[in-house]
Homo-oligomer: A and B are copies of this chain.
Amino acid sequence: MASDKQDKQFVTEITPQSEDFSRWYIDVIKKAELMDYAPVRGCIVFRPDGYAIWEHIQQEMDRRFKETGHRNAYFPMLIPESFFQKEKEHIEGFNPELPFVTEAGGDILEERLAVRPTSETMFGHMYSKWIKSYRDLPVLINQWANVMRWEKRTMPFLRTSEFLWQEGHTAHEDEKDAREETMRMLELYRDFVEDFLALPVIMGQKTPSEKFAGAVDTFSIEAMMKDGKAVQAGTSHYMGTNFAKAFEIQYLNRDNELEFTHTTSWGTSTRLIGSLIMAHGDDRGLVIPPKVAPTQVILIPIGPPKMRDMVIERADALFAELKAAGIRVAMDDRADVRPGWKFNEYEMRGVPVRIEIGPRDIENGVCLLASRLGGDKLTVQLDNVVADVKQLLDDVQTGMFKRALEFRDEHFHAVDNLDQMRAQMEEKRGFFLAGWCGSEACEDTVRAETGATSRNIPFDPQERKNTCVACGEASKHTVVFAKAY
């Protein structure tokens, strides 16, 4: 039958994950119209369904930032090149990735202006003007902005030349306050990502070789993708007085002495979109957590042409009821597209819940609910439908977290030495928990031998390892190693 063929064709257009994970990813985000490639190197267009995910992320995260006393501001996108020179490690870390504006208004500029890769330097410059006394502290400012890093290898959402992010920059009286802020924001990220994106993460500290350029300490949350690779989903940095010294952010303390502030910064970006897709998606397409899904419920009226008007009328009322209850619902009542095709289409787009309603359902005062996670369809009473849909959305959200956590546990391996790690890596994807003596040479060895990098030193490892995975000496830390995006 033509329609079966159409349905089948449709599904097979997406490369199976097991065949080629990267191709699966590109297939699905293009087909679901989350993004398109832009005519500028390494840049993408965030199409409405992709951008809507970001809007939901922004909205909730912004609420949490404000609840913890932060305010938003906006700083210039172009940063004089000389600003980068002021913090030695910072310039070394970012210089190779900077795009420069060199001409403007028909003139060659005297000083090149970098398109910001991050704004520590610009915030530092302004903070030095605004902060005079301990009474002005802490300063707790966040910015939602676009940034650019001219990356060699790019991957939509995960690593693009231009991306969207938020960057918090705070200044404090002393180390204790600044370190508390660093941890508060890391914990905020963890809670948000686990709660909203249904992504379990590992919190920990970056090793010195992986920390932010200019930071004293960097902390991260790391999430596991379905191919076993890691994505750094958020970072929080304690800068000490490094940027305060570079930009002369000094204040009169409570004893009337001039002192440098202690600063922090913390950020998450549109790579969160890529992370949730790679962590939750399957061979049928996207699976989007209800809390950030552009469309939470797709409503599909079913039935023969002669009953169409009656069904649509009831479906319209149902649509209005769900919408009024604050549910993001869409209806597909196209007459020239078969229900089976629609089912596949919205599964591919990752819509968490589907409602089917036909003449017999209406007669019986019910409709059918299908979860994107599969399982039997639920028959629910139309007069209790809002509560049942909300319940199912909750169940999908928690079910997704549970499924992702189980997947991570299955792909989390403790290893004692490189031979073991190499062998396991070939046969099992995932994260590797291993001892580390603390030397950069051993991190390099691990990378060279296995392709894995140190992700972080977890605060709360499942077990401790006493010897270094590379050199066999006594270990200083237990580290999570993994291949990473």
Q: List chain A positions with a Cβ less than 8 A from chain B.
A: 36, 38-40, 43-48, 50-52, 54-55, 71-80, 83, 96-106, 112-113, 115, 122, 125-126, 129-130, 141, 145-146, 148, 150, 152, 162, 164
Contacts and interface: CB of A to CB of B under 8 A. Distances in A.
Contact of A96 (B50, B71, B73, B106): B106
Contacts of A52: 71-72
B104 A98 contact: yes
Given A80-B39, A80-B40, A99 B106 contact: no
A52 B77 CA distance: 19
Given A101-B101, A104-B99, A51 B72 contact: yes
Contact of A77 (B39, B112, B130, B146): B146
Given A96-B105, A104-B98, A78 B45 contact: no
Contacts of A74: 45-46, 51, 54, 164
A339 B461 CA distance: 55
B105 A102 contact: no
Contacts of A129: 36
Contacts of A122: 38-39
A36 B123 CA distance: 12
Contacts of A75: 38, 45-46
B97 A100 contact: no
Contacts of A113: 40, 99
Contacts of A38: 75-76, 122, 126
A423 B456 CA distance: 74
Nearest to A143: B51
A430 B190 CA distance: 56
A102 to B, nearest CB: 5
A333 to B, nearest CB: 14
Given A72-B51, A72-B55, A40 B97 contact: no
A143 to B, nearest CB: 9
Given A36-B129, A45-B73, A51-B73, 10 more contacts: A38-B75, A46-B74, A47-B73, A54-B74, A76-B162, A77-B146, A98-B105, A101-B101, A101-B102, A115-B115
B76 A126 contact: no
